[in-house]
Amino acid sequence: MSFIRTISESEATGTTKAIYEKTLANLRPSVRKRRGNRLPPIVKIFGLRPELLEARVGFDKGIYRPGTSGLGRRREELIATQVAALSDCKF
């Protein structure tokens, strides 16, 4: 349960709906299957401000760019996991 309201897949309209669908389509098949074809909650929080959601998706692609660092996915995930642990973040 998030601390603020989220926009569910069925509530989404317009830009939010389009970005949701695109984000879901871009998830790795194994992740999509594990998640039961549902978006991660972090994405649905941004549904409150579609333009910010769009910028955030672009930020992931342009700055974080998982899979493009040259470190390999395993090392990238190790870094992400360590940062999450240090931040006391369950994700």
Partner 1 sequence: MSRLRTVSGNRFEDILRAAPGALEADAAMYRQIKTGITQRLYSLIGVTVAGLLGLERLVESVQGPLDDITASQVAREWSSAPLTEMEKAVLSYTEKGTLDEGSVRQRDVDALREAGMDDAHILTIATAIAYHNYVLRAAAVFDVIPRREVS
Q: Which residues bind partner 1 (CB under 8 A)?
A: 3-5, 45-46, 48-49, 51-52, 54-56, 58-59, 61-63, 65, 87-89
Task: Find the shortest distance in angstroms from Cβ 89 to partner 1.
Answer: 6
**CB nearer to partner 1: pick between 22 and 49:** 49
- Residue 9 or 54 with smaller CB distance to partner 1: 54
Closest CB to partner 1 among residues 8, 37: 8
Per residue, the 3-state secondary structure of the chain, as one string, reads CCCCCCCCCCCCCHHHHHHHHHHHHHCCHHHHHHCCCCCCHHHHHHHHCHHHHHHHHHHHHHHHCCCCCCCCHHHHHHHHHHHHHHCCCCC
